[in-house]
Amino acid sequence: MEKQIIKYSQNFLRSRKLVKMILDKSNIGEADLVLEIGPGKGIITEEIEKRCRKIIAIEKDRKLYEFLKKKFEDKEKVKIVLGDFLDYHLPKEQYKIFSNIPFNLTADIISKITSAKNCPEDAYLILQREAVKKFIGFPYSKKTQMYALLLKPWFNIKVIYSFKRTDFEPVPQVNIALIHISKRKKPLIEKDHKKLYQDFIVYGFNQWKSTIKKALEKIFTYKQLKKLSGNFEFNFLTKPTELNFEQWMGLFSYFLIGVDKNKRLLIHGSQEHLKEQQRKLQKIHRTKL
How confident is the model over 65-96, as pLDDT tens digits?
Answer: 999 999 999 999 999 999 999 999 999 999 99
Longest dimension (CA), the chain: 69
For residue 202, pLDDT over 60 is answered with yes
Per-domain residue ranges of the chain: 2-183, 191-288
In contact, 233 and 193? CB cutoff 8 Å: no
In contact, 200 and 252? CB cutoff 8 Å: yes
Q: Choose the CATH number for 2-183 among 3.30.470.20, 3.40.50.150, 3.40.50.300, 3.40.1010.20.
A: 3.40.50.150
- H-helix or E-strand spanning residue 169: strand 168-169
How confident is the model over 217-255, as pLDDT tens digits?
Answer: 999 999 999 999 999 999 989 999 999 999 999 999 999
DSSP state of 167: G
Cα separation, 279 vs 262, whole angstroms: 29
For residue 186, pLDDT over 50 is answered with yes
In contact, 34 and 14? CB cutoff 8 Å: no
Query: Whole-prediction pTM value?
Result: 0.89
The pLDDT assigned to 7 comes to 39
The pLDDT assigned to 171 comes to 93
88 Cβ contact partners less than 8 Å away, ≥ 6 residues apart = 58, 81
